[in-house]
Amino acid sequence: MLKKLTSGFLLAFGLVGFSACDQTDLNELIKIAQPAPSTKVNLTAIMSGSQEVPAVSSAATGTFTGVYDKNTNVLTYTVTYTGLTPVAGHLHRGAPGMNGPVIFPFPQLTSPVTATATFTEDDEALLLNNGFYSNLHSAAFPGGEIRGNITVK
């Protein structure tokens, strides 16, 4: 009899304890179990003379790869190229088919170029919506020899 009474008490106590858990606690446990969404965005561009405005005839090629962190507004990028000797290189503000102002000059011009750039909120919106391009200029093409329109990968 004592065993049945103890078992009944434990069962009742367990049901009361379980029913005391509210939905908020369950939702918090679900949030903990799921990874936070990434704040990093991968970016890419293929650089060629055909993307210059106006287009140029050049055998030079290049690539831009980058990772943009939405929390810190920092773009970490690498530009590689072959077939030209650049005299200048930049990240420009401008949509495909449009020329735009230099926003971030490259810190050096030896391939691979690696650097970081900190964006404003307005420029972040442009960067993530095809509003920036990577450009290398040469003595033969001072307006730009190869360009790559930066897109989200």
Distance between CA atoms of 26 and 28, rounded to whole angstroms?
Answer: 5
Residue with tokens 């090629």: 61
pLDDT at 10: 47
The helix/strand count (H/E) of the chain reads as 3, 9
> What kind of architecture, by CATH, is found in domain 40-152?
Sandwich (2.60)
pLDDT per position as a tens digit, 50-70: 999 999 999 999 999 999 999
Residues of the chain with pLDDT under 50: 5, 9-18
pTM of model > 0.95: no
pLDDT at 33: 66
Distance between CA atoms of 93 and 49, rounded to whole angstroms?
Answer: 18
pLDDT at 38: 85
Distance between CA atoms of 47 and 145, rounded to whole angstroms?
Answer: 9
pLDDT at 32: 67
pLDDT at 9: 44
Asked if residues 44 and 65 have their Cβ atoms less than 8 Å apart, the reply is yes
pLDDT at 31: 65
Q: Where do the structural domains in the chain lie, given as residue ranges? A: 40-152
- Using the 8-state DSSP alphabet, how is residue 38 labeled? P
